[in-house]
Structure 1
Amino acid sequence: MCAPRALTPKLLSSVVGAALIVVATPVAAQSEARIQRLEQQISALQRAVFPGGDERFFEPEITPEVRRTGQPASPQVTTSALTDVLARLEAMETQLARLTAATEVNENALSAIDRRLNALEGSGSAPSGSFATPAPTPVSTPAPTGTIPVPDERAQLPAPPPQPTQSSPSAARVAAVEAIVKPVTGDGAEDEYTYGFRLWDAGFYPEAQQQLALYLEQHRGHRLNSRARNLLGRAFLDAGEPRAAATHFFENFQGDAQGDRAPDSLLYLSESMIALGDTRRACIALAEFGDTYPALAVGRLQGMYEGLSGRVDCN
């Protein structure tokens, strides 16, 4: 029997190298499988976050090493190769976390947009700067319902208390009302509106209310409807009935936000809420006016807008 040979340094180095290859080969194979799985997950997540994205539009952040010949390099079973594998894994995990965070941010943004759209659709008003404004729809003035919705909110006010029965007007008042001349121009609808305006302008508020309500009932869709609804609200407000006035102001704004006097009605709605001591709803109406009619807030209605804003603390 031959005696065992002594391991020379050269022979010992060969044995250790072979052992490292045997041990490192399964580790490299497992790491490569893990890398491929993570790369597939990242590709799927990129398609969800960036629909339609591919290498024509998005340069991959992680690419396999390529030799100068253009062919992918075969894995090397060395310590430096394992270090590269760990670095690639860390980079992919970081990218995966970033893409996950981006997905959550997008989902939160979409949820916020949905909530705002639902709120605006519920209030019946279009958001400022919307893509399209629906055509105005002729709306008649319905009887007061006892509830007053406000922009961006469906809060309700209690029904107004029953009004005491009014006594018959005096002979002097009847004569004064009869002295208000009803115009006859050939345009019956405009004549009815002008007569209501003259009654309001003369301070005959109950008579103006009746005349304007009659005009709105008989001439639906007329070009002066927005002015008449706004003036009807003012006739109630000037008569000391802000709750009834608020109903007409809001219905004028809600029924046709692009009407001639819809912006005015929104400001008078705020004034009615101030008269009722409801600062919160007054501020909602002012905020809606500023968002929907920014040009009028620094133009025709600037004085009224700033005056009402100075009467309430909306901070």
Structure 2
Amino acid sequence: MRNYLKTAILLIGVATIPGSAVAQSAVENRVERLEGQMRAVQRKVFPPQGQGGNNQLIQPDIAPNDLSTPSTGAPSGSAISDLTARVDALESQLSGLTGQIEQLQFKGRQLDEGFAAYKRATDARLTALEGTSAPTSTAVIDTPSVAATTPKPPAPKPGATRPATSPAATPAAPAKDPARAQRVAAIEKPATDDAGEDLYNYGYRLWEAKFYPEAEVQFKALIKDYPQHRRISRAQNMLGRSLLDGGKPNLAILAFYDNYRKMPKGDRAHESLFYLAQALVKLNKPAGEVCKVYDELEDVYPDKLSPQMKADVARGRVTSKCK
């Protein structure tokens, strides 16, 4: 009888071993699979250098758990059952994390595409505005007698690029009014060995006398014929002011913006930003746009603003109700 009991106990022990071994093996397989999936997520979040950013939709490496697979394990309440439950929770969380990563990547691509479309539209609008302003660059000249009385300018300095006919010798009065042409002719034209400097000084004298279209001609000639001249930033700024004072705020905006964009370190770039805000006000643009220009001016050129300009900016902020 005793031998029979021993034999039964041994048989029961041997019968229980395969069940536990099978359960433990199943959990180990799931843990290995979970580790592999976690490595896949890490490759998506932290891709190796040179392998990311191909803008392709990433297919999920983690599929939902196959609920149809029967779970084999030890009896309820055992350590293996607790471990299985924890593995199930980790698998569920990992699957949700993969879905969130894919959504974020999709939204990021949408943002990139939207920004690229906005940039293309803005460039097209600026190109269209510049094309509209191009015909205004040639003025109507009706006073040949002024050119006849203009002395021939001396030779340029070494290294300077001088056109065949000096722009300073070009009649500056686009108006057909003879009286106005006489007043323009009365303004002294400088004649030195620096043609670019002569254009700038003559244009400035015309602007001071409120002959804005004539001043516009001189500044445009300087910008076109002497793009590397030391007065180029001032000429671009004064072109904008001539357009603004001459009742062309829409074209003045382009002149001021070009001076700031192309020559941000020019000696009159900060003034162009200030007068850009004034042109926006004249065009009744939203106050938010004006305030952004003031913000840019104070952020980029805090050390170049004179006390008078600081006071003008402060008044402009109050008028536009800037925060």
Coarse TM-score class (shorter-chain normalised) = 0.5 to 0.7
| Correspondence for 2:17 | 21
1:225–1:251 distance in 2 versus 1, CA, 3 Å? same
Give the AA of the match of 1:80: A
Deviations 1:114-139 (A, max 9, x none): 76577568757xxxxxxxxxxxxxxx
In 1, Cα distance between the equivalents of 2:296 and 2:218? 33
| Correspondence for 1:287 | 292
In 2, Cα distance between the equivalents of 1:120 and 1:224? 31
Q: CA deviation at 1:267?
A: 3.2
Matched residue SS, 1:311: helix
Find out whether 1:186 has 2:193 as its counterpart.
yes
| Correspondence for 2:139 | none
TM-score where L is the length of structure 1: 0.61
**Identity over aligned residues, as a percent?**
27
| Correspondence for 1:308 | 316
Q: Does the 8 Å CA contact 1:213/1:232 hold for their aligned counterparts?
A: yes
For residues 1-315 of structure 1, the aligned pairs below 5 Å read 18-51=14-47, 79-91=78-90, 93-94=92-93, 97-98=96-97, 101=100, 105=104, 108=107, 112=111, 145-146=131-132, 168-171=176-179, 173-279=180-286, 283-284=288-289, 286-287=291-292, 290-291=295-296, 294-297=299-302, 299-300=304-305, 301-313=309-321
Matched residue SS, 1:28: helix
Unaligned runs of 5+ in 2: 50-72, 137-173
Matched residue SS, 1:33: helix
Q: Does the 8 Å CA contact 2:290/2:320 hold for their aligned counterparts?
A: no
In 2, Cα distance between the equivalents of 1:34 and 1:241? 74
In 1, Cα distance between the equivalents of 2:290 and 2:119? 14
Q: Does the 8 Å CA contact 1:263/1:289 hold for their aligned counterparts?
A: no
1:22–1:306 distance in 2 versus 1, CA, 3 Å? same
TM-score where L is the length of structure 2: 0.60
Q: CA deviation at 1:15?
A: 6.2
Deviations 1:208-231 (A, max 9, x none): 112222222332332222221221
Q: Does the 8 Å CA contact 1:208/1:235 hold for their aligned counterparts?
A: yes
Give the AA of the match of 1:29: S
In 2, Cα distance between the equivalents of 1:226 and 1:121? 27
Q: CA deviation at 1:269?
A: 2.6
Q: CA deviation at 1:23?
A: 3.5
Give the AA of the match of 2:40: A
In 2, Cα distance between the equivalents of 1:202 and 1:107? 60
Moved more, 292-301 or 260-269: 292-301
Q: Does the 8 Å CA contact 1:253/1:265 hold for their aligned counterparts?
A: yes
The count of aligned residue pairs is 252
Q: Does the 8 Å CA contact 1:39/1:92 hold for their aligned counterparts?
A: no
